[in-house]
Amino acid sequence: MDFVYILSGALAIDLTIGEPPLPLHPVVWMGKFTAVWEKWGLNLKPLFQIIFGTMLTLVTIGLFVIPAYFLMKYLKGWNYPVYIVTGIVLFKTTFSLKELRKAAQRIKFSLTDKDLVKARSGLRALVKRKAHDLSEPLIISATVESVTENTCDSIVAPLFYFLILGIPGAMAYRVINTLDAMIGLHGKYEYLGKFAARLDDVVNIIPARLTALLYVLAAWFSRQNPRGAWSIMVRDHSRTASPNAGWPMSAAAGALDVQLIKTGHYQLGDSKGSLVPATIDRALQLMLFSTFSWTILCLAVEVTRFAITIQA
């Protein structure tokens, strides 16, 4: 029942306290470690950038995952309560629900106050696209897209890998996803971040599709448009450059009856409804229902697995 205790405790901390101080957050350490090494790699020729980026990715994963594995293994045999508390703290650093919700709400409040400048500034915490000239509908679209995609990256995927691989699995996913966010981009990182980007694509294959299905279910629970979520997901999931991001985003577009647009890149869904500040609230509602459903499902799987083990 370790999974149940750790997941319950981590969720309780996230919903009440939120994120740990930045100097203590492992994701910050991952970023600093990567920032130091990337400067060296960018000076290499393309082929050597790919090799260097591959090594950087694997070393960073090992640097965070191996100590977590041996620490948890030691603590379990030494002191079970300390093992559970440590697991709660470590697992909490791999996902974020409260902060994602707060970031989206700040943008919504700015738009409600007709402060586009502040809304564009707040958008930088969620997306990397240029926001200085985005209109209100495009700001709302970007926010909804980010909430939806981050439902996978920040919630569903960490729980998925924790369920099958424990704390080391969740930590490994967070390292890979962080590296993808930092160097898995085009432009100057085209070669250095290639391995990190491809690895992130691989580890998100199942979670992204799970998230899309959870959004279809959430649309039904929240009385939005589950049929639209399913049909738009099936029709539009391949319109994004990412092989994974289009799945949950297109499901959200269908559930909300809106068209999500990244100018020059993709359009998901049909513009049956307008993109207004309240659309962000509806997207957050989908996120919360999806998170609740996924948490219950994970707990059910773990309880079933535990019952089978006891009977055996």
| pLDDT the model gives residue 131 | 78
Between 221 and 24, the higher pLDDT residue: 221
Among the residue ranges 33-37, 66-70, 284-288, 303-307, the one predicted with the least confidence is 33-37
| pLDDT the model gives residue 312 | 65
| pLDDT the model gives residue 306 | 83
pLDDT at 182 over 90: no
Among the residue ranges 3-12, 32-41, 54-63, the one predicted with the least confidence is 32-41
DSSP string for residues in 278-310: HHHHHHHHHHHHHHHHHHHHHHHHHHHHHHHHH
Between 142 and 185, the higher pLDDT residue: 142
What value, to the nearest 5°, has the Cα angle with vertex 58 and ends 57 and 63? 100
